[in-house]
Structure 1
Amino acid sequence: MKNTTPSGTGNPIDRVEGHLKVRGMAKYASEFPVSGKVYAQAINSTIAKGEITAIDTSEAEKQEGVIEIITYKNAEKLKRYDEELPSLLPDVIQPVLQSPKVHYYGEYVGLVVAETFEQAQYAARLVRFEYRTEEPRIHLDRQRSDAYKPEESSDYSRGDVAAGMAEADEKVEVTYHTPIEHHHPMELHAIIASWENGEVKAYASQQMIDNAAITIANTFQIPKEKVRVIAPYVGGGFGSKLHAKQHVILAIMAARKIGRPVQLTVTRQQMFTNTNFRQQNEQKMQLGAKKDGTLTALVHETLSHTSTYEEYQESCGTVSKMLYKVPNNKVSHRLVPLNLQTPFAMRAPGEATGSFALESAIDELAWKLKMDPIEFRIKNDTQTDPSNNKPFSSRLLTECLRIGADKFGWERRKMKPGAQQEGNWLIGYGVSGASRAAPYRETSSKVKLELKGGKVYATIQMDATDIGTGSYTIITQTASEYLDIPVDQVSVELGDSLFPVTPGSGGSWGAASYANGARVACMNAIRELNQKLNTDEDLSIQALLEKNELSSYETTGTAKPSEAFKKHSVYSFGANFAEVWVDKDTGMYRIKRMVNVGACGKILNPKTAFGQIIGGLTMGAGMVIAEQSRIEPKYGNFITRSFADYHVPVNLDLANIDVVFLPEEDKIANEMGVKGIGELGITSVAASIANAIFNATGKRMRDLPITPEKLIMAEPEPDAI
């Protein structure tokens, strides 16, 4: 295939939808003009465990504009869970207001619908609930005796760990803690829901359109074909919008009850209690190695929590099973049910938190061995996935570490902590290896061609979403390349359940899946038009339409993993480097420089890819600097309720950042050689910063976030200073 367009994949073109966003013309879920729309405000419980004993709606009902107040007493009967702790998946049902029981502080217990947003908010504050309270279970450390194994795959082992540890010359046995964190995308969770002729139409901020439609259909027990979900633009998600949450069901329920479209927006405060979070993890690590740096054993045990009504496990041990060549390996996960809402996937679930423990422990063991931490990692590199004995489709971890070291100036690092100083500042260098599965999922797409004025215009349709990652742009570039037409002759329409089905945005599968789906549709169009002419000439798409005497043509295509894909482990790999300056008197520290090197297959658009890595590095830095959601220890409510107390990094917190993409086209991963990067960017960033802090101070910080108070109170490691 010839390609004469300079705007195909691999080129750093501007976002094709950027002009719509900066002009305020890109419509998000709560911005669609829907005739007759009214507003809803959800009401939250004020206890963490118990039961509603009385409800007084009289004062709220008197208020001007109030249309309906819904509680468990008059709510529509929905599909209920068939088991006690069903797994929380992106398409699971979401029953709400079905019983007087309260499972966590902030659980939805009612909904007010009114003519205006202000009327709904005011009336919601007037509804009175009385409760019979019970002692809530909100402390992971106090309830650890109730820990259980969620499923058979929660445990993994190979070799003989006891023998491996006995064989080791040096060992590390330490515990790391990561706190609860919340997603907080810029766009609040929102929906405008309506019913017409027994069918649902929902403008909803969702990352996965098809799964949202399944959740809605199954919860209301209607055919999926009677549900339409629309989300052309999503203002961030980070995993919080992977599935349709209870606010979606509330709005749809209210719309059917009153016979009018209902808009419901989850407030910033409610996003702490009603849209999931990254769970707290306690991770115990045991590592052993010989004097020459050969790993002999690795144990990674995670204790975490789920809710009392749904089950979710963050697989922190995923990276420990596959990243390094270690013959004796044990990974386990245990959960404790608590009276908190169900945790769920947050950017790089498992890898972001698990890599902090693993890559910190690797650094600790390298220090004990008096080995350079880069050389220690390279010593234990492998081209075969030890967790399943499959070859990696490609693995450039060593190259990422070597090139990153050169770019960063690693040769200036001093082995002895505290050896590099400038004035009152202690200067440290840290490194970490990174990996993230690069999934590729079945994706369908439609291409519509139109011949006008001697030019071919193409429209690509799929139910994919753009959550700020650049989906519109890379799909446009793919169609431009494979149809060999300019970008400005390509239109992309996304985020509608009427369009061909994709896996949606999440799990770092979006770019590879969407691009290949568009590719197959475009290639099918060319092949079918050639077949109509009974020719195999290398004709332009314009010539094919003209020779077929067609002014328009449309077809579909579906891309799916190959047999080779199934026989390999497919991952993206990377390395993070950090330079941290610590004030030796106050414990205040600054991240001065960060270098990220990634081997992520073909980069579809360097500009949007760079933005993804910057975002990941920022979130990784946030894990270290400040991010944590704190629970009131008696009542179970979140003390952190806004950005005034839930702190995230700002410009002054961040470093000078260099991002390097290694040239790599992994054709086993998929025919375009594309791998995911959205979650690789956050993976192990926290460890690189913590390792740099150790190199600066001699203090091992194993409890995130690393605050100045913790740093001042910590004692240096033996023989470190």
Structure 2
Amino acid sequence: MKTSNESGVGNAINRVEGHLKVMGKAKYASEFPVPNKVYGQGINSTIAKGEIIGIDTSAAEKVKGVLKIITYKNAEKLKGYDQEMPFISTDTIAPVLQSNKVHYFGEYVGFVVAETFEQAQYAARLVKFEYKEDPKPTINFDKSRNKAFKPSEKSDYSRGDFKKGMSEADEVVKQTYNTPIEHHHPMELHATIASWNNGKVLVYASQQIVEDASIAISGTFQIPNEDVRVIAAFVGGGFGSKLNLDRHVIMALMASKMIGKPVQATVTRHQMFTNTNMRQQNEQIMSIGAKRDGTLTALSHETLSHTSIKEIFQEPCGMVSKMLYNVPNNLVTARLMPMNLQAPFAMRAPGEATGSFALESAMDEMAWKLKMDPVEFRIKNDTQHDLHANKPFSSRLLVECLRIGADKFGWENRKSEPGTNKNGNWLIGYGVSAASRNSPYKKTYAKVILKLEKDKVNVTIQMDATDIGTGSYTIIAQTASEYLRIPIDQITVELGDSDFPPTPGSGGSWGAASFCNGVQSACENAVSKLKKNRNIKNSEEVALADLLKRNQLTSFEAEGMAEPSDAFSKHSVFSFGANFAEVWVDKDTGMYKIKRMVNVASAGKILNPKTAYGQIIGGITMGAGMVIAEQSKIEPNFGNFITRSFADYHVPVNLDMANVDVIFLPEEDKIANKMGIKGIGELGITSVAASIANAIFNATGKRMRDLPITPEKLIEAGLEPGVKI
């Protein structure tokens, strides 16, 4: 990819903040030079269920530098939940250390504050807890089925008559697909420097949505929201784990209030497994009916997952099955089991990443039964109307993604009979999957500050948006450059401060569209007001410096706001894509290599092909990780995670990954928003796992329905009915 230093959107320029990161000048949450700060360390429970009946802090209190040890006995009283097992969201309160009850292994039971990080860690290990342990915690997925419940009325969806549709089918597929617990594991650990000063709160924190973090803090401590300031100038990855406020921030603030000093708290890599959310384990039963000509008659998607015994989160695995294909009879259900585990929460493409594995694997199984080409089978069941929302799509180029991807990939060379494409000991398979991801667009505010210095205008953009490594700084600067018609090196972008104009933050693939339309509005307002002051027609082109001079100003500020239109609300707005994978499997050992991948994305206007490419590559890598190795295992007797570090929780590295081609289709969806932008950050992971699993079937004749797909599973699996190797 050629990069360019040109101004404006659509150019593949380098990141404007890249030099700061390379030089170590980009400050992350734990790197701000806050005077007089001390250090806190959380203490985790060592049982899955029970009560604390004794605490011995005497040894820890003797450690040099220890300032405070906080447990439920001396913790400040915080706001509790108004109802039993509430649904959690990005601004939910986060009470901690409020009782002697233990609900899961690793739950915070104490917090030690000391003058140094090492002192706090050492003293934390010396605090002794005595428990009355409940010998029967609910930690086994299979044994918890009788406790499954429907989380809400919206958890179930149906249209048409599913049973009737299945009875009309000539071929039926009914299979169960399993995805394990996964953890997000961004490079930057969750961290905070929290200060409580005369009722005013200042928090440097690794958060994806600073406004919601501020709301959660004010709600937890029952203080005015205007007294809370959250700063997240740079966030070293999140993948959803930093959407909501985790309890280390509350403990650090509580400690700061008690001792009168700023407190820094960093979650350890081990604690990332127990204290910063996770993706749920999902059991998904797919039932599909189709006519011999490939017409779908019915489709159901039934999901069984778990939540904590204190809070509810439901991963919407069936979302993709409601809208991706033209199927008249549809049933989607979700059930949750309360378990003695931490509450799960959103992980990159929540629902789509896991749900698409089940759907797109089942679609491949049906294509095999029908003896149809898997690409043509998907195209035959395309639709331009979202049957779930009963709205037309604002734009939908799924067929184009499949056609162009197949051509680029060389799909015509695929052999339909499994096991027939060989190279020595290797069995070679081709797989395909379709992808879709909702493209939300949310109300966003931005401020533009213009300063005339000699004949040059320097511009500052301020908004509380965050950059979680996705390139927000860059695309915002490009947008300002485009609409102010000035070089990008004259633009400074300031993000991640709750004192700045509010935005929805980073997450859910709404960031780029929301941020940039907000910036466009602010820039256009600035130019329009300056022209109006001097009776200049909006259509007349006047350089920004000349506008300020004509107004006899050396500085000027304007704000803007962007929000969804009526047209947006009347349409279903999604990004679409297609994944193609070539996999080589050793027929004797079950070892496999992902040799080639092609991803085609239809995601509206691409603001910066370089950063967008990085988003797709990152998504593809996480999708491959779902297949290759990623899983968090629970010790069946005690409820602790036996995967506790990168030594045993494996993620893909360079040698695991294929050669990847990424194609962006030209598209500007003006119904989606004024600039024609759609989400891309989560589209990249969606259905990647299915394309690899489908390629493995094409290579071996073995259907792999449980992730991750390990060599052991491949060796032990039998051939599918009808496969002759």
Same fold (TM over 0.5): yes
CA distance in 2, matches of 1:104, 1:226: 33
CA distance in 2, matches of 1:591, 1:471: 31
Partner residue, 1:540: 543
CA distance in 1, matches of 2:312, 2:634: 20
Q: How far apart are 1:494 and its partner, in Å?
A: 0.1
Native 8 Å contact 2:192 2:204 kept in 1: yes
Partner residue, 1:421: 422
| SS of structure 1 residue aligned to 2:220 | helix
Percent identity reads: 74
CA distance in 1, matches of 2:283, 2:572: 28
CA distance in 1, matches of 2:507, 2:609: 20
Native 8 Å contact 2:171 2:370 kept in 1: yes
Q: How far apart are 1:534 and its partner, in Å?
A: 1.8
Q: How far apart are 1:197 and its partner, in Å?
A: 2.2
| SS of structure 2 residue aligned to 1:144 | helix
| SS of structure 1 residue aligned to 2:126 | coil
CA distance in 1, matches of 2:6, 2:73: 62
| SS of structure 1 residue aligned to 2:235 | coil
> Which residues in structure 2 correspond to 1:193-272 (within 5 Å)?
193-272=194-273
> Which residues in structure 2 correspond to 1:54-65 (within 5 Å)?
54-65=54-65
| SS of structure 2 residue aligned to 1:411 | helix
> Which residues in structure 2 correspond to 1:601-620 (within 5 Å)?
601-620=604-623
CA distance in 2, matches of 1:600, 1:479: 21
Partner residue, 1:564: 567
Residue deviations 1:150-181 (CA, integer Å, cap 9, x gap): 01110000000111001000000000000000
| SS of structure 1 residue aligned to 2:173 | strand
The AA in structure 2 aligned to 1:606 is P
Residue deviations 1:672-694 (CA, integer Å, cap 9, x gap): 00001000000000000000000
Q: How far apart are 1:538 and its partner, in Å?
A: 2.4
The AA in structure 1 aligned to 2:696 is I
Q: How far apart are 1:453 and its partner, in Å?
A: 1.5
CA distance in 2, matches of 1:291, 1:648: 41
> Which residues in structure 2 correspond to 1:490-569 (within 5 Å)?
490-536=491-537, 537-569=540-572
Partner residue, 1:100: 100
Q: How far apart are 1:6 and its partner, in Å?
A: 3.3
Q: How far apart are 1:296 and its partner, in Å?
A: 0.1
| SS of structure 1 residue aligned to 2:399 | helix
Residue deviations 1:392-435 (CA, integer Å, cap 9, x gap): 00000000000000000000000000010000000000000000
TM-score of the two chains, using structure 2 as the length reference: 0.99
> Which residues in structure 2 correspond to 1:300-699 (within 5 Å)?
300-536=301-537, 537-699=540-702
Partner residue, 1:154: 155
Residue deviations 1:261-291 (CA, integer Å, cap 9, x gap): 0000000000000000000000000000000
The AA in structure 1 aligned to 2:374 is P
Q: How far apart are 1:146 and its partner, in Å?
A: 0.8
Partner residue, 1:114: 114
Comparing 249-258 and 539-548, the one that deviates more: 539-548
Q: Tell me the C-alpha RMSD between the 2 structures.
A: 0.6
TM-score of the two chains, using structure 1 as the length reference: 0.99
| SS of structure 2 residue aligned to 1:125 | helix
Q: How far apart are 1:388 and its partner, in Å?
A: 1.7
Which residues of structure 1 form unaligned runs of 5+?
none
The AA in structure 2 aligned to 1:188 is L
CA distance in 1, matches of 2:644, 2:454: 57
Q: Segments of 4+ in structure 1 off by > 4 A?
A: none
CA distance in 1, matches of 2:637, 2:161: 43
| SS of structure 2 residue aligned to 1:531 | helix
The AA in structure 2 aligned to 1:16 is V
CA distance in 2, matches of 1:11, 1:263: 40
Residue deviations 1:597-631 (CA, integer Å, cap 9, x gap): 00000000000000000000000000000000000
Q: How far apart are 1:243 and its partner, in Å?
A: 1.1
Partner residue, 2:720: 717
Native 8 Å contact 2:385 2:391 kept in 1: yes
Q: How far apart are 1:389 and its partner, in Å?
A: 1.6
CA distance in 1, matches of 2:27, 2:284: 42
CA distance in 1, matches of 2:210, 2:166: 48
CA distance in 2, matches of 1:601, 1:446: 25
CA distance in 2, matches of 1:632, 1:193: 34
CA distance in 2, matches of 1:113, 1:153: 44
Residue deviations 1:506-540 (CA, integer Å, cap 9, x gap): 00000000010100000000111111112213212
CA distance in 1, matches of 2:659, 2:484: 39
Residue deviations 1:575-597 (CA, integer Å, cap 9, x gap): 00000000000000000000000
CA distance in 2, matches of 1:542, 1:268: 50
CA distance in 2, matches of 1:290, 1:639: 46
CA distance in 2, matches of 1:194, 1:603: 40
CA distance in 2, matches of 1:718, 1:535: 75
Native 8 Å contact 2:7 2:486 kept in 1: no
CA distance in 2, matches of 1:306, 1:529: 54
Partner residue, 2:10: 10
CA distance in 2, matches of 1:720, 1:617: 29
CA distance in 2, matches of 1:294, 1:186: 45
Q: How far apart are 1:139 and its partner, in Å?
A: 1.1
Residue deviations 1:324-377 (CA, integer Å, cap 9, x gap): 000000000000000000000000000000000000000000000000000000
Q: How far apart are 1:7 and its partner, in Å?
A: 1.5
Native 8 Å contact 2:6 2:13 kept in 1: no
Partner residue, 1:34: 34
| SS of structure 2 residue aligned to 1:119 | helix
| SS of structure 2 residue aligned to 1:142 | helix
The yes-or-no answer on 1:291 pairing with 2:299 is no
Q: How far apart are 1:710 and its partner, in Å?
A: 0.3
CA distance in 1, matches of 2:150, 2:445: 37
CA distance in 1, matches of 2:505, 2:401: 29
CA distance in 2, matches of 1:573, 1:594: 17
Comparing 312-321 and 138-147, the one that deviates more: 138-147
CA distance in 2, matches of 1:129, 1:109: 9
Partner residue, 1:701: 704
| SS of structure 1 residue aligned to 2:143 | coil
Partner residue, 1:126: 126
The AA in structure 2 aligned to 1:27 is K
CA distance in 2, matches of 1:330, 1:246: 38
Partner residue, 2:164: 163
The AA in structure 1 aligned to 2:578 is A
Which residues of structure 2 form unaligned runs of 5+?
none
CA distance in 1, matches of 2:541, 2:665: 33
CA distance in 2, matches of 1:388, 1:626: 36
CA distance in 1, matches of 2:352, 2:669: 22
The AA in structure 1 aligned to 2:391 is K
Q: How far apart are 1:542 and its partner, in Å?
A: 1.4
